[in-house]
A and B are shown apart, each in its own frame.
Chain A
Amino acid sequence: MEGHQRNLYLYDRFNARVAGVSRDQVATLEHWAKDLGLEFPIFSNPIGHLGIWFGALQAGYPMFNRTTVIIDKWGVIRYMQPGNPNYREILTVLKQLHEEEGRR
């Protein structure tokens, strides 16, 4: 979370937006985001559709496994990695997508 907040100015530079998804309730996320000073949206998805969609919800396990997904402007998933975010990898992919966008 902190890493994404730290890199917001770079995401802007690459014409990208970041959003989080969690199974926590809205009130919990609101408090948490305020406490951490986060300035990007975090969606509350208690039922877990998105986790099922992106393969981040294991059967019998109540929480999402951390997963990072990058979707390009045409709606195509271009990057998906489980585990802690690799911010340098993410920024490299966003830079490539931004360059691609300029060429199309």
Chain B
Amino acid sequence: MNYKLVFKSAILSGEIMLRNGAETYRVEDTINRILKTTNFQVIESFVTPTGIFATLDDPSIEMITYVKRVDKRTIHLSKVTLTNDVSRKYCTNQLTIEEAYEKLLEIKDKPAYSNLLVIIATGLAAGFFTIVFSGRFNDFIISTIIGSTLGLVDILFKKLNIYKFFYDIVGGCIIALVAILFTKFIHFGSNFDLIIIGSIMPLVPGVAFTNAIRDTIEGNLLSGISRGVEALIVAAAIATGVGVVLKLYYLLSGGGLL
């Protein structure tokens, strides 16, 4: 058996999952399951949101240890699903390790939805959330415009390699600015609050929050805490962005116009 390839596949699948928004315990579970197919004595993996550590040891081989730092994290859940599939198939002997490794490499380079589609989706998500919170049709249109702008800025910032937290602050500013522009100056939308609430939703750290809880339940306390802090900081950044613009407008308009 090519145990080195098994080890490499395990690390690769762990890396793909961690990079694309899987919970930490799921990553550990996947790595362990793949490593277990070697039937070696010592199988250990430790995963945090920023890195993977794994060890394989047996009397018959030299001990292998691997440390993989994972710095950039995005959310691409279909990659998580696909990797899960491959590891499930490999562990039930439906795939050989060579095929599995091949498939993992394919998944790693799998393209996301196109930029244009993401921009439109962000817009419509914001728009429909305004409807969910009982907004009117005019509000829907404005939120869609704001959301699309957010999607555009997000893609731009990712290309320029700007910190995620800065995007959240800028995003908050954009939401408040455009909402004020439309409702107070153009007098198009009727409900200022609902537009902002709907448009905030694409920024709200839902994934970090859900994963923080699920990691904590599974006993991965370190990951739970770090993801929880991530969610908190994102929330604070959005609040800062929206708050600063609102405050400025409040002061400039003499306090009466909000």
Chains A and B are bound partners: no
A contact residues vs B (CB 8 Å cutoff): none
B contact residues vs A (CB 8 Å cutoff): none
